[in-house]
Amino acid sequence: MVSHHVVCNDTQESLRFGQVDTDENVLLPSSHSHQYSWRSHKSPQLLHICIEGWGNWRWSEAFSVDNVGTLLRTIQYKGRTASLIIKVLQLNGVQKQVPCSIQYIFIVPKRQFTCNPFKPL
C-alpha cells in the first residue's frame, strides 16, 4: 500500500505529530521521515505537531496537507516561542511531502528599568 504523505523532520528537535481529534502521536526524530496514512477517516483529515522536548505536548493549530504551499504554525511554552514552517510539496501524482522546520524565538521576561540618556549605563 502506498502512503500518500511523507512527513519529514528537518529540525534539530524530535517532533510528535498526529491526526487531530484522535489519540495519535507519532514520534519523529530529528532528520527522519515517516510514511503517513490517516489514522481515521471519521476524524478531520488535519494534522497537528508538537515539540517533544518542550513537555506538556503543546500542539500546534491544526493544518491541512491537501494543498501545496507553505504554512506557519506557532507553539508557545514557558516564555519560548517556536514558529513551525510546514511545506507541502507534490512528489508525484498521488504523493505529497511535508517537511517541517522550526524558527525559535526566545522571549526574555520584561524587566523594568530606567534609562537616563545623560548617564552611561
Q: What is the pLDDT of residues 68-84, one digit of tens each?
A: 888 888 888 777 888 88
> CA separation (Å) from 92 to 1, 3, 89?
16, 12, 9
Q: Using only C-alpha atoms, what is the Rg of the chain?
A: 18
Report pLDDT digits (tens) over 44-60.
Answer: 999 999 888 887 778 99
Q: State the residue range of the domain holding 60.
A: 5-106
Q: Is residue 80 part of a domain?
A: yes
Q: Is residue 119 part of a domain?
A: no
Number of domains in the chain: 1
Q: Is residue 113 part of a domain?
A: no
Q: Is residue 86 part of a domain?
A: yes
* Amino acid making up residue 34: H
Q: Is residue 116 part of a domain?
A: no
Q: Is residue 12 part of a domain?
A: yes
What own/partner pairs with CB < 8 Å and gap ≥ 24 does 85-92 have? 86/49, 91/6
Q: Is residue 115 part of a domain?
A: no
Look at residue 66 and tell me whether its pLDDT is greater than 70: yes
* Amino acid making up residue 115: C
Instruction: Please state the rounded mean pLDDT for residues 4-24.
Output: 90
